[in-house]
Amino acid sequence: MAKTINLTIKIGNLTFKNPVTVASGTFGSKDEYAKYVDYAKLGAIVTKTVTRKPRKGNPMPRIFETPSGMLNAIGLQNKGIDDFIEYKIPYFKKVKTHLIVNIAGESVEDFVYLAKKLDPEKSVSALELNISCPNVKKGLEFCAKPELAYEVVKAVKEATKHPIFTKLSPEAHDFLGVADSTIRAGSDGLSLINTIRGMAVDIEKCKPQIANVFGGLSGPAIRPIALRYLHEVKRRFDIPVMAMGGIMTAQDALEFLITGAHLISVGTANFVNPKATMEILEGIETYMKRKGHQSIDSVRGTLKVKPDSESLLAPAG
């Protein structure tokens, strides 16, 4: 008789049925993917960013396909927290999986307000603090310096009973310092990594392809970078990580799990293949059966690296 494979992941008081989640902003606002994906089979659903007031987002064009990825400058378009609670929460209450709500603000007070508004919602399992969006004027502010990151995480932690994942940008000048400050402030986990700013040019019109000039680069092009940041964080800090950045297949997901991620978020892949999450989940199970693993815990963090071979901060050459 075949032994059951245990895919459950435990982070604090939360138990996820498996490590497969979706990246904020890539899975619609509510039920857009329901005909392709059994939401209840996901380890968690991470919502599109919710802000205090409705946002129209950035001007068009704001999406452009690039080699092995895409640029986006949506600008956190959403209908605001009141609409989310009234029209989105009732739907997610019926879905039997964890709901992680991604929130963003232009001030510490905004983040605290959002956290308090969501605190009574029993269907919300955790918050993801988006302090690193590269596509809005005040998006990177809280991720720019360790002391600012500490301030916002500390304030939210004191305002909510929900666990907190803090989403960080690889563009932070002192990335590890920011990570350390969020952990000291009480973040229960980190989300790594947000997109990286890039641009593209229309050579006929001699204009940027994105109206906002810059857009966040996502997709397979940034996967090696995301893996590097995950490894740097895991070798320095004992903190659960929800990893993202170009995860398209089960092999990609396993690279992040082996490097130490607790959860993996599928983002750009959803636009290319709406069933990507289900295929990745199936592929992880197939790999575990082939390798004789009975628990996902026996896969996570098994990366073999000789200490003297690491020169992560040295320039390539």
Pairwise CA distance, residues 166 & 155, whole Å: 13
pLDDT above 90: residue 308: no
Contact 49, 195 (CB under 8 A): no
pLDDT tens for each residue of 254-271: 999 999 999 999 999 999
Burial class (CB in 10 A: 0-12, 13-18, 19+), 80: middle
Residues in the chain: 317
Pairwise CA distance, residues 30 & 310, whole Å: 43
The SS3 call for residue 143 is helix
Of the chain, the percentage scoring pLDDT greater than 70 comes to 94
pLDDT above 60: residue 2: no
Q: Can you give the pLDDT at residue 316?
A: 43
pLDDT above 90: residue 102: yes
Contact 207, 199 (CB under 8 A): no
Q: Can you give the pLDDT at residue 173?
A: 87
The SS3 call for residue 238 is coil
Q: Can you give the pLDDT at residue 134?
A: 65
Q: Can you give the pLDDT at residue 140?
A: 53
Which secondary-structure segment (H or E) carries 198? strand 196-198
Tokens of 259: 């490097």
pLDDT above 60: residue 311: no
Taking alpha carbons only, the member of 150, 188, 191 closest to residue 170 is: 191
Q: Can you give the pLDDT at residue 115?
A: 98
Q: Can you give the pLDDT at residue 315?
A: 45
The SS3 call for residue 44 is strand
Contact 186, 154 (CB under 8 A): yes
Q: Worst-scoring range by mean pLDDT, 1-10, 84-93, 125-134, 151-160?
A: 1-10
Q: What is the mean pLDDT of the chain?
A: 93
Of the chain, the percentage scoring pLDDT greater than 90 comes to 89
pLDDT above 70: residue 23: yes
Q: Can you give the pLDDT at residue 227?
A: 98
Q: Kindly list the structural domains of the chain, giving each domain's residue range(s) and its CATH number in brackets, ordered by start.
A: 9-309 (3.20.20.70)
Distance of CA 183 to the CA centre of its chain: 17
Pairwise CA distance, residues 247 & 29, whole Å: 21
Q: Worst-scoring range by mean pLDDT, 125-134, 221-230, 269-278, 304-313?
A: 304-313
Pairwise CA distance, residues 56 & 31, whole Å: 21
Q: What contacts 311, CB < 8 A, 6 or more positions away?
A: none
Among 100, 124, 133, 159, the one annotated catalytic: 133
206 is an active site residue: no
Q: What is the mean pLDDT of residues 241-258?
A: 98
Q: Worst-scoring range by mean pLDDT, 60-64, 78-82, 141-145, 222-226?
A: 141-145
- The dihedrals phi and psi of 313, each to the nearest 5 degrees, come to -95, -5
Which secondary-structure segment (H or E) carries 217? strand 215-218
Q: Can you give the pLDDT at residue 1?
A: 45
Q: Can you give the pLDDT at residue 237?
A: 98
Q: What confidence tier does 142 reach under pLDDT thresholds 50, 70, 90?
A: confident
Q: What contacts 130, CB < 8 A, 6 or more positions away?
A: 24, 49, 76, 102, 103, 104, 139, 167, 194
Q: Worst-scoring range by mean pLDDT, 1-15, 18-32, 144-158?
A: 1-15
Q: What is the mean pLDDT of residues 248-255?
A: 98
The SS3 call for residue 213 is coil
Phi-psi region of 143 (alpha: psi -120 to 50; beta: other; left: phi over 0): alpha
Higher-confidence residue of 24 and 144: namely 24
Q: What is the mean pLDDT of residues 246-261?
A: 98
pLDDT above 50: residue 317: no
pLDDT above 90: residue 143: no
**Contacts by 88-94 with C-beta closer than 8 Å and gap 24+?**
88/29, 88/30, 88/47, 89/121, 89/123, 89/124, 91/30, 91/31, 92/30, 92/45, 92/123, 93/123
Q: Can you give the pLDDT at residue 49?
A: 96
Q: Can you give the pLDDT at residue 306?
A: 82
Beta bridge partners of 102: 128
